[in-house]
Structure 1
């Protein structure tokens, strides 16, 4: 029997004696894993049966109920275990991770007695960001704390608390230099208020200094910079005694995507200059024009928000009148074939479905090289750097919702989705949907009825949210 899960500690949810749980526990044991009966000891993976726990809010409550430090805990769908065994290798956890970043939602029964509250985005944001903010040093140190907590894989509520505090301080014109002043501000709790007092007294945060000088945190940050390496793999690498990227490269259990992540480690961990993204956009549009000139390509993410740099390049792909994923897939497959032919395609990180993720490099051509900033060219080889590029296939009727979803930023999107939730609706990349409850809706999910998907402005209007241009959505 294989040992593909050697070194993993699994805790199963539900942790009962049902046939399916017993079978999966035995499979895990036979393939090298250790199965624990105490969730506190599940320092590697918590495996959830999504057929039992179907909503993120249920899982959030379960995870938050686990006492102790959950720094290294990854929450995965049990199908990851099953699929890894079926493929006889450790699969990437991409696509199996359970997103616990969603706001918890009140139950249908509670929602019936709640009165809808008309909330605008302006109410949530409270005030504009203050230029030359006197709390800049405090915000900078709190931001570093948030980053260190994220590196640790910290409880989502802890990292969110820092971001909320930073958001509050960014709109506070007065200097907040004491515990007392901080504690009365909305969104700032006792722990962060004490850190603000510490910053005022020492211009530092002791625990931040310890984290930044921690060898474990240094290695976590280094290893999580590898594409497709999250908390689970990074922690496993550290337990196995890995110290460098070279150590990692010698491992025989790396996934294909992790090998690509190592090869392009430097390029994929750099921010991409806006000027370079414009050259990629010109190049891809040129290829697409020769395939189907009616296809519309829009670059989302940080680029659409007007930011100077982006982490990757997200192409939102639509075609007027086309709402079929199969038609869009055929178009994008021809685009991928052309990219391979021209050398723009470096690697595929997923198979083509409703999206494609990969690595791409512009050709060495005077017409393109002359438009690139120096930092976009490898100094050792003289060729353009490889960049992470995503193609997001969107039905034309969902264009507006997709523009909201794939423009971001994350904090803005979460707040707008929360407004939709407060109104008994769901907002995702395919549209704004109204929840339709039946008599037995308490025991099963509601049906969703499309309200609007095509018109981005109309979605804002239906939600009662003031229209914000993409460059006004960079908040938090």
Structure 2
């Protein structure tokens, strides 16, 4: 073992204390390591240049004091440094360490802004699963800062282990000691605007960059925009208006309420309509980021060829009847629909009771023959699906949410069990 490795081990042992003896090597392996062994990584030379290089912009410098920050980001935070920082805090505060807190709002915004920034910097490798970290924070504060304005470091250590989340714990340490995240604070005004816009549903990197290039710096500027060189759609205004509510994770109990209401609404519309709420809810998890619903009907057996998208949805289509049923149940408003097609609808939903938050709901209409693939692909999780798609590629097949088989060929299986085989 190198001197540096020995130092990290000693710091980790000091941090864990008596629990170090009970810690096994197996505990620290994750499914990410399994995926890295199953899926060979391409060499740098095979990665398209567009992915390896930063996009050309007219912003000028992307960072203030860019050179030191780039040096830090290239090196990356080490677990040993994180544990050493925490040990220093414990020595400095003694018994009062148990009372050290971090602002819930600052932590959530720091995580979301960092996720947005990583998406904008195309050549930066993303080593943090921000979704998992956000879920961990919401397990302590179900309604965000409104339920828990501050979170204790001791509680955060239990749900976000420092020895496997160096990037996140550097952020927490900075928020405790400096009250800001240096990496985000160092951004110039245009990059801060880009990060903010990229967080809004339906904007994306290209549109966020375009708005920032036009000199737009706040969401309020976008809301009052009328014509000129930039403008936003009604759906985008809707996303801006409710983006803070859409950021809040959804407790399982609330999704269960939606489940019951949707079941009754569809049964009244047509007893042959069936549905399932997918994603983390179907996996049995306690929190969901949105409500992903798959609906099927015996009359819709096979996926039809894509038709030219109509400006208005056919009121007699199966999807229009599904939406009408949910509107009648008072959980969807026609004014709160982002987009509606014959197979997919994106909208805001809200429980029909006081003080309920607006949530994002995705409705998918699935043909019967594709149901096993749709259920599998939308249940996940994402890591499992990466493994399965790679296994399909090894056999010369394509696996997606509609079928599995050779390109433009027939489907191989109509059973979830046979898909795994």
- Measure, in 1, the Cα distance between the counterparts of 2:399 and 2:258: 30
Instruction: Tell me what 1:414 maps to.
Output: 386
> Is 1:390 equivalent to 2:390 in the alignment?
no
Aligned-pair CA distance for 1:67: 6.3
Instruction: Tell me what 2:320 maps to.
Output: 333
Aligned-pair CA distance for 1:427: 0.5
Change (3 A) 1:389 1:395: same
Q: Counterparts of 1:287-366 in structure 2 under 5 Å?
A: 287-320=265-298, 322-324=300-302, 330-346=317-333, 347-364=336-353
Change (3 A) 1:417 1:329: farther
**Runs of 5+ in structure 2 lacking a partner?**
1-41, 59-78, 84-109, 133-164, 175-179, 305-313
**Runs of 5+ in structure 1 lacking a partner?**
1-56, 74-133, 139-143, 167-194, 365-381, 436-445, 462-476
Partner SS state of residue 450, structure 1 = coil
Aligned-pair CA distance for 1:329: 8.0
Calculate the TM-score normalised by the size of structure 1: 0.50
Q: Deviations over 1:364-397 (max 9, x none)?
A: 3xxxxxxxxxxxxxxxxx4322211111111112
Instruction: Tell me what 1:153 maps to.
Output: 119
Aligned-pair CA distance for 1:413: 1.4
- Measure, in 2, the Cα distance between the counterparts of 1:72 and 1:416: 38
Change (3 A) 1:423 1:389: same
> Is 1:286 equivalent to 2:264 in the alignment?
yes
- Measure, in 1, the Cα distance between the counterparts of 2:51 and 2:415: 43
> Is 1:70 equivalent to 2:52 in the alignment?
no
Partner SS state of residue 448, structure 1 = coil
Q: Deviations over 1:374-432 (max 9, x none)?
A: xxxxxxxx432221111111111211111111112223212211111111111101121
Aligned-pair CA distance for 1:226: 1.9
Instruction: Tell me what 1:423 maps to.
Output: 395
Change (3 A) 1:72 1:328: farther
Which structure dedicates a bigger proportion of its chain to helix? 2
> Is 1:450 equivalent to 2:411 in the alignment?
yes
Count residues in correspondence.
Answer: 280
- Measure, in 1, the Cα distance between the counterparts of 2:323 and 2:408: 36
Calculate the TM-score normalised by the size of structure 2: 0.56
Which residue, out of 210, 218, 230, partners 2:204?
230
Partner SS state of residue 363, structure 1 = coil
Q: Deviations over 1:442-469 (max 9, x none)?
A: xxxx5423101x31121001xxxxxxxx
> Is 1:261 equivalent to 2:239 in the alignment?
yes
C-alpha contact 1:71 1:154 (8 A) present in aligned 2: no
- Measure, in 2, the Cα distance between the counterparts of 1:407 and 1:71: 37
User: Over aligned residue pairs, what C-alpha RMSD do you find?
Assistant: 4.2
Once superposed, which parts of structure 1, at least 4 consecutive aligned residues long, lie more than 6 Å away?
Answer: 144-147, 326-329
C-alpha contact 1:358 1:390 (8 A) present in aligned 2: yes
- Measure, in 1, the Cα distance between the counterparts of 2:48 and 2:380: 27
